[in-house]
A and B are shown apart, each in its own frame.
Chain A
Amino acid sequence: MLPRAAAIGLLVAAAASCARLRPRSHLVRLHDFGFAPDSLVVAVGDTVVFRNDDVVPHTATRVGGGWDSGELGPGASWRLVVRRPGAEHYYCRYHPGMRGVLRVR
């Protein structure tokens, strides 16, 4: 009886751990000349999709270089897989007042 319960317990723990480790996908909308949300907590390995829902072209560009979506026309999207922990500040090269940050755990 006990070994069976222990096995179930281990399985549940493994599943929970798996759920925690599975990379997630997050959406950042480029909308009304801004990023929404403009601050997002993600984990290493997660994917961030930048989708331009605005009426003009934009970019999502890391401050100081490293990654850049290139021009995203209205309706276009771009995926970024986050590789390093830390704060990733980004902006739109065309509209430098548009700013956001990914806080990578």
Chain B
Amino acid sequence: MEKRGLLTWSVTVVLMLGVVAGCRRQSEEGAAAMGTPAAGDTTGAMAPTAPPAATPAPMAPALTDAQIAQIALAANSADSASGVLAEGKAVAADVKAFARRMVTDHSSLNKQATDLAKRLNLTPAPSDASTDLQNKAADALKDLRGKTGKDFDKAYIDHEVAFHQEVLNALDQQLIPNAQNAELKQLLQTARMGVQQHLDMAKQLQSKLSV
């Protein structure tokens, strides 16, 4: 009696499993027929009503280490140049001190980048990104030269906030992810910490100047 009960129970379980599996197959087939690919279906062959996939926008080619080195050098040189100008023109003592720090830090970072490029036998190469950065920096410097007194201080600090934010974004989205050489990547990561510090310092001065 017990044996028969057990047999009946096993048959019931097997039948239930069969029904569930059948339902699942049917549901997947139904979904495919409705134009919705079933899970794991990557062919899309069963979706005749779906609109043709849009042509993906061309992606910017990944930067090479030589191009990354050039961008890093251009960024450091640009901020050193505006710092030298501000050391001479700023009227507020804390803006002058900030400018002096930018010259010292970005000159040191540039020396590290130049030394590393030499050691790695890497010749910095221009790219659209480095040219764009250099053009923007030249325009900003020209604009700053035309200002004096408190107007200069405010324009310089506003520029520093925008510039460091832009460099930080470039480091996070382009330079660090694309760097292939481990030492270059490490230097970029160190530079990132510095750029973040500079950005915080510039923002603090910006709040102070706007009061």
Contacts and interface: CB of A to CB of B under 8 A. Distances in A.
Interface stretch (B127-135, B159-167, B192-200): B192-200
A90 to B, nearest CB: 16
B104 interface: yes
A55 B104 contact: no
Contacts of A97: 196-197, 200-201
Contacts of A57: 104, 108
A34 B101 contact: no
A33 B196 CA distance: 9
A74 interface: yes
Contacts of A74: 108
Contact of B190 (A54, A95, A96, A98): A54
B201 A55 contact: no
Contacts of A32: 189-190, 193
A94 interface: yes
Interface in A44-102: 54-57, 74, 94-98
A74 B104 CA distance: 12
Interface in B90-124: 101, 104-105, 108-109, 112
Contacts of B109: 55-56
Contacts of A55: 108-109, 112, 187, 190
Nearest to A74: B108
Contacts of B101: 94-95
Interface string B167-204: 00000000000000000000101100110110011000
A33 B201 contact: no
Nearest to A96: B201
A5 B160 CA distance: 73
Given A32-B190, A55-B190, A98 B108 contact: no
B108 A33 contact: no
Contacts of B104: 56-57, 94
B151 to A, nearest CB: 26
A94 B108 CA distance: 14
B189 A98 contact: no
A38 B200 CA distance: 19
Contacts of B201: 95-97
A53 to B, nearest CB: 10
Contacts of A95: 101, 194, 197, 201
Interface of A: 32-34, 54-57, 74, 94-98
